[in-house]
A = this chain, B = another copy of it.
Amino acid sequence: MAIKEGLRPGGRSARVQESVHSAVRQLLQEQERASVTVPQIAARAGVTPSTIYRRWGDLAALLADVALARMRPDSEPANTGSLRGDLQAWAEQYLDEMSSEPGRNMMRDVQSSQTPGYCVTILGGQLQVILDRYQASGQALPSVDRLINLLAAPTVFRILFGAAPMRVEELYELIEIALQP
């Protein structure tokens, strides 16, 4: 899409993305989420609404993209020196982030977006970084899918549908199950 837009597609495309994301972040701080509109975002970002529709499809997809960009971690998962310790640190942080207001909003936006699977791709990437640290250790490693099914899924399910949030002890029990050969 960006290629249609100019001679230096990467440059212009990246600038549009940054100014639109920044406009969304500002507007979400200033007003109720439900009242933010595409024309408003376009005006703040200095682009036309059709630029936004062409690039993101709709408001839900744009909000999801902004939320995912925010969730994409700046740094690698904590390295504690053991697989169990790394998973405990990662799972506790994931529980905290998803339980927070921005985390809940992100889950809502991602569900309304056209590419909800992108979220699991980011998640899987983080878990793969942890597993890669222990590839040479000789211990049997769980698969990324197993970790997503046994750690991420129950954490999110309980936030979205549970009567009570997941306790850290429960999360640790799930890590022990995931580590069983």
Contact = CB atoms under 8 A, between A and B. Distances in A.
Interface of A: 107-108, 110-111, 116-117, 119-121, 145, 148-150, 152-154, 156-158, 160-164, 170, 174, 177, 180
A116 B177 contact: no
A142 to B, nearest CB: 11
A140 to B, nearest CB: 15
Given A111-B108, A149-B174, A161 B154 contact: no
Nearest to A123: B161
A73 B178 CA distance: 32
A120 B163 contact: yes
A77 to B, nearest CB: 19
A102 to B, nearest CB: 16
Contacts of A145: 170
Contact of A161 (B110, B161, B174): B110
A111 B153 contact: no
Given A149-B154, A153-B154, A120 B177 contact: no
Given A149-B174, A180-B180, A120 B161 contact: yes
A81 to B, nearest CB: 27
> Which one of A160, A161, A177 has the greatest number of beta carbons of chain B within 10 Å?
A161
